Amino acid sequence: MLVIGIAGGTGSGKTTVVNKILQQLNTEGVNVLSQDNYYHDNPNLTLQEREVLNYDHPKSIDFDLLIKHVKALKNGETIEQPLYSFVTHSRTGDHVSIDPRNVLIVEGILVLTNSELLKEYDLKVFVHADSDERLIRRIRRDTQERGRDLQEVLHRYQTTLKPMHQEFIEPSKNEADLIVPNMKQNTVAIDFLSTVINNTLKHTH
């Protein structure tokens, strides 16, 4: 199994890069695990308490479970992936069964920050985007998809997102084998990743 970690700051376009790769592939051979489904549940906290937690710190991620699931898939086992809601800031209680496939993509802002998880990757990718562009994308996503107030988004960016990006996410770029500048006209990196994955899929048939 080929395991690829794809990281980058919030709003950098990680999901877009993953989707562009999948568009060029036979997706039946590829699984995608999103870090977003591996946030700690914190059922002992109220909604108000969960809303003010720092979700951009590595400690917010249940890396033990994520690593366990990556290893299980590599061992040919089916996993039960939890589903997470950004509205309630908690796991929904539902799970998705994921069977092992020939290629596994693990994506999220913090997936290159954990030393144990780094050992599981065959290829590490960091998607880079201008900080202003990332902020604009974050505002659009949080106001349109997650029902957040503009002032709330800007406050969180200044007090949490930007400091955490500088402390944890940007330094994790040093772990990457490939840095992808997320520009609309940039197809070289996407084509390269698609070729690597395609070659893996061909050799496993």
Long-range contacts: 93-101, Cβ < 8 Å, 24+?
A: 98/31, 98/33, 98/69, 98/73, 99/31, 100/1, 100/31, 100/73, 100/74, 100/75, 100/76, 101/1, 101/28, 101/29, 101/30, 101/31, 101/73
In this predicted structure, the answer to whether residue 184 has a pLDDT above a threshold of 70 is no
pLDDT of 135: 81
158 domain-assigned: yes
* Domain of 15, in residue numbers: 2-193
161 has pLDDT over 90? no
The 10s digit of each residue's pLDDT in 100-117 is 999 999 999 999 999 999
User: Is residue 94 in a domain?
Assistant: yes
* Mean model confidence pLDDT for the chain: 89
- What is the per-residue pLDDT for 138? 78
Question: What is the pLDDT, as a whole number, of residue 186?
Answer: 65
pLDDT of residue 124: 95
What pLDDT score was predicted for residue 205?
54
Q: Name the residue with higher pLDDT: 155 or 67.
A: 67
Q: Is the pLDDT of residue 196 over 60?
A: yes
**Spatial distance between the Cα atoms of 103 and 26, rounded to a whole number of angstroms:** 11
**pTM across the whole model:** 0.87
Residue 199 forms part of a structural domain: no
Number of domains, the chain: 1
Percent of the chain with pLDDT over 90: 48
- Residue 42, domain CATH: 3.40.50.300
The pLDDT confidence band at residue 202, using thresholds 50, 70 and 90, is: confident
- Classify residue 130: in a domain, yes or no: yes
pLDDT attached to residue 183: 61
pLDDT for the residue 122: 94
Report the percent of the chain where pLDDT is more than 70. Answer: 96
DSSP state at residue 177: S
